[in-house]
Amino acid sequence: MPIPPFTIDGILPPYVGIDGPGGAPNDMSPYVASVPEVVATLATTEERKDILRGWLQHRAQLRALGFSRGFQWLDGSFVEQKDPKDLDVVTFLYRPAHILGPQQLGHVMAANLGLFSRAPVKQNFKLDAFFLDLNGDPRALVNSTRYYLGLFSHRRVDDLWKGMLEVSLDSADDVAALAALGQPLAPVNQVGVP
């Protein structure tokens, strides 16, 4: 299913179709989208293109560290019909094979604060980034997912229920999407890999 159009309120709808919120899973947020769909649909201004370039560069650097499996929820004002300052991204990561447990994951994240710490990621990539470990404790994962779903599925100003997008992390389309945005993929340094 393609990314649904914005509603009259300027948001992605929380669901589509005649069956309402209890309908088919594909008719409910988060809507599964490809990287080219995100770029084609949401790269409508130079500011948005710049934010998308940062998102794609960040994804490339995560993959360079071995984080190539998982998915991302794209949300916040970027998936609304307005001029955003950043893109809110919740990244659900599977640990690479060389990162065996949560302690080792913590070491890798601490060695790569430019990719995992909220302030530097916002400054360098224009992302408000959050991360969830899909190999972690199931109860903590469900609780964190519940939190982010509640936080990002409603517009803060008026609590209007809204939709989000879901994009696979292991996309081969990122390089072409960056080219479509007018920027080649920058070389990636593998700093902090144990």
166 with 30: CB under 8 angstroms?
Answer: yes
Q: 133-182, pLDDT tens digit by residue?
A: 999 999 999 999 999 999 999 988 899 999 999 999 987 788 888 888 88
If pLDDT is split at 50, 70 and 90, which confidence band does 39 have? very high
- Checking if the pLDDT of 188 tops 50, the result is no
Q: What is the reported pLDDT for 172?
A: 79
- Checking if the pLDDT of 193 tops 50, the result is no
What predicted TM-score, i.e. pTM, was given to this entire model? 0.90
Q: CA-based diameter of the chain, in Å? A: 51
Q: Which of 91, 9, 14, 78 is nearest to 47 (CA)?
A: 78
Q: What is the reported pLDDT for 189?
A: 47
Average pLDDT over all residues of the chain: 90
What kind of architecture, by CATH, is found in domain 54-180? 2-Layer Sandwich (3.30)
Q: What share of the chain is helix, strand, coil (3-state, %, to 5)?
A: 40, 15, 40
Residue 143 has a CB neighbour count (10 Å cut-off) of 10
